[in-house]
A and B are shown apart, each in its own frame.
Chain A
Amino acid sequence: MARKKTTKMAYGSGAEMMFGTAKYPVTTKRGIEIGGGFVHPEVVPHPRPGSEKTMKTLLREYEKANGDALERMVVVGHPTLQVENEHVFQMTHNPKWGGEIAAQTAKQMDDYLEKYGLKASYRSTPADLRKPDMHHMRTSDYTMDILESFKEVSKYADVVSIESMGGKEIFDHAIIRNDIGGILFGIGVLGAIDMEWMWDQIVEICKKNNCIPGGDTNCSEANTAMFMAGGMISKDVPHVIAALSRAISASRTMVAYECGATGPTKDCAYEDPIIKAMTGVPISTEGKVSACAHSDLASNIIMAVCDLWSNEAVEYHDMFGATTTSVFAEILGYDAAMLNCSLELGYQEQMKEILVNSDMYRDSHSLILAPDNAWDIGNAIVSNRAKSNYASARAGAIKAGQIIQGDAKMKLTALEKDALDKAMKDLDALPDAEGDFIDQCLDKYKDVKGFNPDSYGL
């Protein structure tokens, strides 16, 4: 399917968006309607080091890790669960491994449905092994591994996703230099080009195997920015630059849905509230329950319009309460139950207010993810979508900056304020036409280690 650019917002405002409900729900093989009125938990088990040695040891590890989570659902009475396995290197490099693990998990889920009536679904996420400065993005052996992996896992999984890496060589150079132009080029232009190339193929593979093409995430860039910005005492990357990176990433990540992905989106895409506003697909988000994997300053606000509620990833270990996957699946399920009770009792607006107010002014990155602001950023992206990837990403970044600058309750340190003022000035000074911007960047970044324009058809 050729990419169809989004030029109209799916929602009329941020106020229209609500957790549990999406404009375009999707239904999994065992009957979970994601975005169909209620929130469902999504747990992400990760194997222990050493278990990746052979396919046999990895199969056993996932059998226990995924199986424990399914069992805990029955033990505490949670009605649904999505399990995601983000591939370790070996699972994608050896596509049969990922396929065998998907088949095993699907069988476990069939057994739980038959025995207990538990509705479960499986998301398989092949690893993007392509490091842009080391491999050709379109012709390397790793590229073939990834596509082959999608063919294998989509035979058994309900949903597939990826965390694609396009533009990371430029982004990595730019983020440690506060270079917003480079970030825009890496994520908003190169990332979008790579996604279109990749997602056209993923969607076709999914069609053949009756699998849901979930979505992508800018984990490798916008999340890198967010994690480097860190908490309140970190001095690695200004939080405002991470926030602008996030707005740019929404323009990039939307390419998957324009190519035919339907959601549920990938959990670690903190740009997902913006994606939901623009596209209406059901979204998976992660917040406080992903503290097992990383910290963030948006832990409650990111729940405000979710359809799946995830934990990012937890390594399989024993805890006092049981194994980690049991424990985290239980926590996620109870969070979903809380949200679903508020829906059933008619308190959903109040719940949304609580979640938003908890974090909105904790950090500038949180501020732009508040549903009203996410909608505004999405609208800026969509309004410029017909022009180019670049124009829409740039418009999203400028809108995010204006939101931060224009909200008197959003206090910034002097360093943050200076960084934002400079970034906005730089964004304003960029050329209007995508072609001019690309020419400028091809020259400016020609010496960045490993940058190969041919990887992007440039």
Chain B
Amino acid sequence: MRYLDDFSNIFKRYDLDGEVTGEAREVSKDATLQEIAKFVVEGDDEGILPVVQKALGSKSPIDIINDALIAGMNEVSRLWDEGVYFLPQVILSSDAMNVGIAECEAKMGKSMDRKSTVVTHTAEGDIHDIGQVIVNALLNANGYEVVDLGADVPVEKVVAACKEHKPVMVTGTALMTTTMTAFPKIAHQLEAAGLAIPFICGGGAVCEEYVTGYDLGVWGKEASQAPEMAEDATAGESWESMRGKWNG
């Protein structure tokens, strides 16, 4: 087998050419809070617990949540947005943040306030839910309450969950074209129930043309868009407005 030495006329390595480097910035002048944030940035869900427990002896839980855990997570989001971090680093950081938040919530005796609620599901007949798992993790990491309905969820169950939890938006994931046909049914029933919330649909074979073919539908190209879309929905943007911004 002969091998070429120079591949420059065969392919171009855009990943090498466009490589981005960067480091986490300091998020707090307070040494204790900065140390906690560092555990979040490094995604260390084992090491963070004793540090948070120790800090709770001298600081309020809400300060630790806002100025260390969430501040650290915001720094992780920045690094991911800039292309420095991979998704797994974001997930690990989210895991670490959640360990810290759970400890602080135990101390407070109540759950921290979340920005708003989002219902997520994978379509009936479809078991390919890793996209939804990522959406859940990213929404959670960004401060949203996630009502995770899981995979293979019947239309009626999605609608019932929306009636119960009154989310700012609902998401649907489908890999197969033969299962995404549940989406317009959900949209129709939500609209009939007076819940005209943005219905973000994405995954696999789900395409913009299909999703924008029914009311409420907003096509989600990437799971990574979920937090920003939730931000729009929380700010009160309608599904029409969000479709105009994210699609077309």
Q: Which residue numbers of A lie inside 8 Å of B, CB to CB?
A: 14-15, 46-52, 88-90, 129, 131, 134, 165, 172, 175-178, 224, 228, 232-233, 235-238, 241, 315, 352-353, 356-362, 371-372, 409, 411, 413-416, 419
Contact = CB atoms under 8 A, between A and B. Distances in A.
Contacts of B86: 178, 235-238, 415, 419
24 contacts: A46-B177, A51-B178, A88-B176, A89-B125, A89-B126, A90-B178, A172-B129, A172-B133, A176-B137, A177-B92, A224-B130, A232-B14, A233-B15, A237-B86, A238-B86, A315-B177, A352-B1, A357-B2, A357-B7, A362-B11, A362-B13, A371-B1, A411-B16, A413-B15
Contacts of B130: 172, 175-176, 224, 228
A235 B95 contact: no
Contacts of A52: 178
A233 B14 contact: yes
Most A-side CB within 10 Å, residue of B5, B16, B21, B130: B130
B88 A414 contact: no
Contacts of A178: 86, 88-89, 92
Give the interface residue-count category, chain B.
Answer: 35 or more
A134 B127 contact: yes
Contacts of B14: 232-233
B21 A414 contact: yes
A177 B205 CA distance: 25
Contacts of A88: 176, 178
B16 A49 contact: no
Contacts of B137: 176
Given A232-B14, A415-B86, A356 B1 contact: yes
A232 B16 CA distance: 9
Nearest to A315: B177
A353 B129 CA distance: 39
Given A224-B130, A357-B3, A233 B18 contact: yes
Contacts of A15: 1
Contacts of B2: 353, 357
Contacts, number: 109
A47 B176 CA distance: 10
A46 B1 CA distance: 38
Contacts of A362: 7, 11, 13
A98 B7 CA distance: 47
B151 interface: yes
Contacts of A353: 1-2
A357 B178 contact: no
B50 interface: no
Contacts of B180: 49
Contacts of A352: 1
Nearest to B127: A131
B160 interface: no
Nearest to A51: B178
B10 interface: yes
List of 6 A-B pairs having minimum Cβ-Cβ separation, nearest first: A131-B127, A178-B88, A232-B15, A232-B14, A89-B125, A49-B177
B196 interface: no
Contact of A49 (B84, B85, B181): B181
Nearest to A174: B88
Contact of A372 (B1, B7, B177): B1
Contacts of A228: 87, 130
Interface string B68-98: 0000000000001001111111011001000
B177 A411 contact: no
Contact of B127 (A129, A175, A232, A409): A129
